[in-house]
Amino acid sequence: MSLLNDLLEFNEKFVESGAYKKFTTTKSPDKKMVLVSCMDTRLTELSTKALGLKNGDIKHIQNAGGMISHPYGSTMRSILVAVYMLGADEVVIMGHHDCGFGALEPGPMMKEMEDRGVSPEVFHTLKHSGIDIEEWLSGFDTVEESVSENVGKVRQHPLMVSDVPVHGLVISPDDGKVDLIVDGYKNS
């Protein structure tokens, strides 16, 4: 496992040399904002740099598609923690063009699971337990629709603060251009 060794080896020098010092910040986001965006590698740095955000400015939640897939899942919980406990006063949901999750179809991924050792019976068991794996592994039609839907899920969440604006943006992974989909100030 040489990747892990490389990581740990680097880390030892990183700490020893004091390289961590330039990343020192607090737990509360300076810009009082929480951003939900996709885990796409092209956006790891671009999603914040394109908005002029630096280390310490925001709470940043990243997952496949930048989705709120369940009202009581970990993404929604993280948003609520950011708002109630860490001083985030605005929420931004940012999708992106050419999203790998958006294009996801359940069939090929379930086949891949089977090829790598998951028994087809597991799919049946999940179905009988009320888990619609096909829906769970389905992407979205358009990123604009997906962003609007996710903004709605946060806005309408029964545990959400009603006067916290929830904005919707779409970013291009090619040049970082951001388009406004939902202006949260108009809905709060």
Contacts with Zn ion by CB under 5 A lie at: 38, 40, 99, 101
3-state secondary structure 106-172: HHHHHHHHHHCCCCHHHHHHHHHCCCCHHHHCCCCCCHHHHHHHHHHHHHCCCCCCCCCCEEEEEEC
**CB-nearer residue toward Zn ion: 63 or 188:** 63
**CB-nearer residue toward Zn ion: 101 or 140:** 101
Q: Least distance in Å: CB of 136 to Zn ion?
A: 16
Radius of gyration of the chain (CA): 19
Q: Least distance in Å: CB of 153 to Zn ion?
A: 18
**CB-nearer residue toward Zn ion: 170 or 182:** 170
**CB-nearer residue toward Zn ion: 121 or 175:** 175
Q: Least distance in Å: CB of 96 to Zn ion?
A: 5
Checking DSSP bridges between strand 178-182 and strand 166-171, what pairing results, if any? antiparallel
Q: Least distance in Å: CB of 98 to Zn ion?
A: 8
How many other C-beta atoms lie within 10 A of the C-beta of residue 110? Answer: 17
Q: Whole-angstrom Cα distance, residue 9 to residue 12? A: 5
